[in-house]
Structure 1
Amino acid sequence: MVSGLINANPTVYEKKERRARISPGDVDEYLVEPIDQQEIFDHIRDIKDPEHPYSLEELKVITEDAIEVDDKQSHVRVTFTPTVEHCSMATVIGLCLRVKLMRCLPPRYKVDIRVAPGTHATEAAVNKQLSDKERVAAALENPNIIDMVDECLAPSYECR
């Protein structure tokens, strides 16, 4: 946790009920279901906010409606909304989303993580950092950053 919170009293929302998923043993091993919006949401909904003991879903930083999936083109876009306009953790949240999806999705998928338009004071800079492969790779080599990411992913570390 970080002291000196930017948003000390965030609004906390009710979590959605989880959709039942078909386990791999229940379907023919050669049948591959397309990845959909709900599946992506299920992967990322429990990621913990870096500053609060709540999930990104509970803070409405991520919502199912802000996820776009094109399974045929192997493309996923997640648009997130920081809790405050000057959120200092926006890039960390974006990095957490990217890492979780990198760990859970087949490698053929291209993942775009973006801040929702008009929701962050430095939206363009955050989006540029999150879409720059070299910056993401460098961040993931920094032990302090990877520790923070792993802490945020801890409650949801396994792919569902």
Structure 2
Amino acid sequence: MAMGLINANPIIHEKKERRARQAPETTDENAAEPIDQLEIFDHIRDIKDPEHPYSLEQLNVVTEDSIELNDESNYVRVTFTPTVEHCSMATIIGLCIRVKLVRSLPPRYKVDIRVAPGSHATEAAVNKQLNDKERVAAALENPNLLDMVEECLSPTFD
């Protein structure tokens, strides 16, 4: 195992089988296609953990149930659970989720990223960082952070 990991031996969960989504029946060609919880989960489930060769789904950091969606209000909230309460990568994980969703969803959506209540020692500070436009923009201007985010978002072939 690599030295210096915050959680050197995380619990690995089995990936869930991907389910096919039904195309919604619409009569208005100009209507925005509704998005569901499963679609949001599919966008973020394969994000790689910054410290381990596992996905956020495998580490149970994100689950289908951790996603709140109000398609009518164009609002998505993802609540993620770090593997340990003092995870130094929590902000990076949240930033990866935000970037993936902003890149994947129509721009009409407001994306809210949160640490699960009681799951992190600095929960309020992490939530504030992840939902402050200026802080997110500044983080993504940092080449080292951006490289880390891109690495976590790069596709895997397993």
Q: Report if TM-score (shorter chain) is over 0.5.
A: yes
Q: Deviation string for 1:115-138 (max 9, x for gaps)? A: 000000000000010011100000
Q: 3-state DSSP class of the match of 1:140?
A: helix
Q: How far is the alpha carbon of 1:29 from its aligned partner?
A: 9.1
Tell me how far apart the structure 2 counterparts of residues 33 and 100 of structure 1 sit (CA, whole Å).
19
Q: Deviation string for 1:61-115 (max 9, x for gaps)? A: 0000010000000000000000000000000000000000000000000000000
Q: 3-state DSSP class of the match of 1:19?
A: coil
User: Tell me, which stretches of 5 or more residues in structure 2 are unaligned?
Assistant: none
Using structure 1 for the length normalisation, give the TM-score.
Answer: 0.90
Q: 3-state DSSP class of the match of 1:148?
A: helix
- Paired position in structure 1 for 2:92: 92
Look up the equivalent residue of 2:51 and give its one-letter code. Answer: E
Superposition RMSD in Å: 2.1
Residues 1-160 of structure 1: pairs in structure 2 closer than 5 A: 4-21=4-21, 30=29, 32-155=32-155
Tell me how far apart the structure 2 counterparts of residues 14 and 112 of structure 1 sit (CA, whole Å).
27
Tell me how far apart the structure 1 counterparts of residues 19 and 104 of structure 2 sit (CA, whole Å).
18
Using structure 2 for the length normalisation, give the TM-score.
Answer: 0.91
Look up the equivalent residue of 2:85 and give its one-letter code. Answer: E
Tell me how far apart the structure 2 counterparts of residues 35 and 89 of structure 1 sit (CA, whole Å).
29
User: Tell me, which stretches of 5 or more residues in structure 1 are unaligned?
Assistant: none
Quote the sequence identity (%). 77
Aligned residues: 154
Q: How far is the alpha carbon of 1:33 from its aligned partner?
A: 3.2
Q: 3-state DSSP class of the match of 2:120?
A: coil
